[in-house]
Structures are given as structure tokens and as C-alpha cells.
Amino acid sequence: MKGFGVLFQIEMKQILRSRIFLVSIVMIPFIMLFIFSFDPGNFFLKNVKVVFYNSDPSPLSALFIKFVSSFFKGENFKLMEDKNKMEEELSQGNIDGVIVIPKGFADAILKGKKIDLEYIPSVKNLHTSIYVYRVLKSILEEFAYVVFVRNPKVMEEFTQSPQHPIPGLKVVGIAERNFNYPALMVPGLTGLLALLTIMIGVGTTMTREKEKGTLDVLIMSSISSVSLILAKILVHTVIGIFETIILLMGGRFLLHVNIRNPLLILSLMVLGILSYAGVGILISLLSRSSEVSLTVIASLTFLMIMGSGVFFPIENMPYHFGELMTLIPLTRVVMALRRIVILGYGIREIIHSVEYLGAFSVVSTMLGIWIFKVKYR
């Protein structure tokens, strides 16, 4: 045990000299506690906003609305008679979806005819809107066993059968094969895997060079700071693109997700990867050891995984935390990818995300080059 105390002090001082490490070990636990202090499922049920537009005013339609509403907590559902106001609220993202009860709904149900309800999703809150759609599909299956009153004296059970089919649910404006959980998750996982690969690879590259002693050799050579930083970023960018292609092919052929506009997706992913790489370079340059950089990267990665909308809808997060999370690259990438895959959007519809990611990658890379010159040149 000789020299243990000295070695312990040296190692502790080396770690605690990194300001970025100190900030992460103080702030990240508080942020994690904040994120996990609410129940995502319960919060979703309380805050989802769905509107009924009833074109068939009848006792049966009113019963149906009460039946569907009973599956959710809070005043999530409301009737809206003004079609223009409904469309405006939907376009602004103030509601997550609209259920349209068509004319002749009650008559079709009582006569055993097949009829479809229409579901108009919110293009701004795709994550929540798809969840609502899945829940509504399940609720309609339960609707087959509701007891209906045809007259005050007769109670007749309505059961699912070829003679009495349950109402269907048809998505309006989006092909149903694109409006499902795999189409929601493939873009999210694509962006997430690129984040993990690039953040870990780039985020430890400079600290590894310092620990091996090769950084001093590179500094003394004729290689410019710009060439050194860009080379390390582009190597991991190529790896990220390769993984993106694998994920998209897997989503297309294994999960049957309709991957539309693959060139736009790859272009967007390049910008996202460059943004991740810029952050990774900054972490690597500001960290004194690979242990410090890995700790910071792991903390930031976990934070972005939970708060970027990959698994939980950011619009349902409390205290406007979701609005803050739209500032991180992963959130922008996932939101844009989902709009391309599910809605078939082109470059014009996602131009704001493209501009943001482009600016973020340029600023973070230039900042990394400047820090490298200040510290090592």
C-alpha cells in the first residue's frame, strides 16, 4: 500500500481539473431526476388533446364519444363544431388529432353496415398522434361489446360479427402503411445510433492521442490544425453514414417501413453526424483524460436519448422541457427524419432543421479548431 495516498491524490486532482467533468457530475444527476420524476404513460394520458368532429348528431354518436372518452384521464377530449377553428388548431399543433364521426354513423351501426371513422393526425405532434391512433384502434375493438338501447324497453348486446362489424378507423392525409410504430421508431433509432457512434468515437479521439503521446508528434509536424480536426471528424462521419444505410435497409426489408427520399435522408444524417462530431471534438479537447470524456459523453448521451423524443413525445414533457430539448441536434434530426418517412416531406418542409444543423456543425467545428489552436499551437 506504499504510495497509495499520493497516487490517489494525483488521480483525483487530474480528474477534478476538468471543468466540464465537474459541471456534468453536478448538473446531469439533477436533470435525470427531473426527467424521471414524471410517469410518461400517465402524463401522456392526462395531456393528450383530441377533438371530436361529429357529423352525425344522434344518441348513438353521443354514447360513442362518452365511451371513447372514458378510456382517458382528464378532459382530453372535446367536441368542436367549427371546422375552420378545428383545422387551425390542428395545424398549429394545439391538438394531437381529430376523430371525425361521419354522417350515417348511427344508422350504419344499427343496420350492421361497415363504416369507417376518420382520424386526422397532427403533423406537428407525430409521436403523440400515432400513440393516440394505436389506442383508438384498441378502443374500437372494445366497442363491439357495448350495450345499445334501441328503445326504452329493449336492451340488445352489440357483438362483433360479420353481420355487425365494428367501426373502422381510417387515417386521413397519410398512407396507413406509413402511420405506424415502426415508421416512428426507425428514424429515431437511426439518429440515435449515429449519435452513440460519433459521440463516443470523436469524443475520445483527442484524449487517446494525448494519452498515447502521439498528439505531441502531430503538433510538431507540418499538419495544420484544420486538417487534423477535419480528418478525425470525417473518418467517423463515414462510419456514421455506413451505419445509417444499414439501419435504413433493415427498416425497409425487415420492418417494411416505406423509406422515401433516401438521398434527402442521407444528406440530413450527414449534417446531424457533423453536429454530433463537433460536440464530440469539444468534449475531447476540454477533457484531461479518456475517463473524463467518456463520463461526460455517457451523461450527455443518456440525457439526449431520454429527452430528444426518440422514445417519449417531447411535446408532453413537463414545464416546457421539451422546447429546450429541440435545441439539441438529435431532436432536430429525429423530427426531420420522421417527417420525411411518415409524411413524405421534401427539403422545403424541413429547411429550418437543415439550416439549424448546418449552422450547429459549422460553429461547433470552428470552435473546436480554435480551442485546439489555443491549447496546443
Q: Is 293 exposed, middle or buried (0-12, 13-18, 19+ CB in 10 A)?
A: buried
SS3 state at 346: coil
Residue 16 CB neighbours (<10 A): 13
**Average pLDDT per 10 consecutive residues for the chain, totaling 377 residues:** 56 58 57 49 62 85 81 69 81 84 85 85 84 83 56 44 69 80 85 79 74 70 74 80 84 84 89 85 77 76 76 70 79 90 88 91 85 72
pLDDT at 284: 79
pLDDT at 318: 64
| Helices assigned H by DSSP within 143-261 | 181-212, 214-220, 225-253
Q: How many CA atoms lie within 13 A of 324 on its CB side?
A: 10
Residue 244 CB neighbours (<10 A): 24
Q: Which residue has the cell 460553429?
A: 363
> Cβ(365)–Cβ(282) under 8 Å?
no
Q: How many CA atoms lie within 13 A of 358 on its CB side?
A: 8
335 closest CA partner among 193, 191, 178 = 191
| Per-residue cell: 293 | 470524456
pLDDT at 157: 45
φ, ψ of residue 78 to 5 degrees: the values are -150, 155
What is this structure's pTM? 0.76
Say which residues have a Cβ less than 8 Å from residue 88's Cβ, sequence separation at least 6.
Answer: none
pLDDT at 39: 46
| Per-residue cell: 119 | 382520424
* Domains in the chain: ranges and CATH: 18-39+180-376 (no CATH), 48-173 (3.40.1710.10)
For 296-302, the CB contacts below 8 A with 24+ separation are: 296/20, 296/21, 296/24, 296/203, 297/199, 297/200, 297/203, 297/204, 299/24, 299/25, 299/28, 300/24, 300/28, 300/199, 301/195, 301/196, 301/199, 301/200, 302/28, 302/32
φ, ψ of residue 52 to 5 degrees: the values are -100, 130
pLDDT at 359: 92
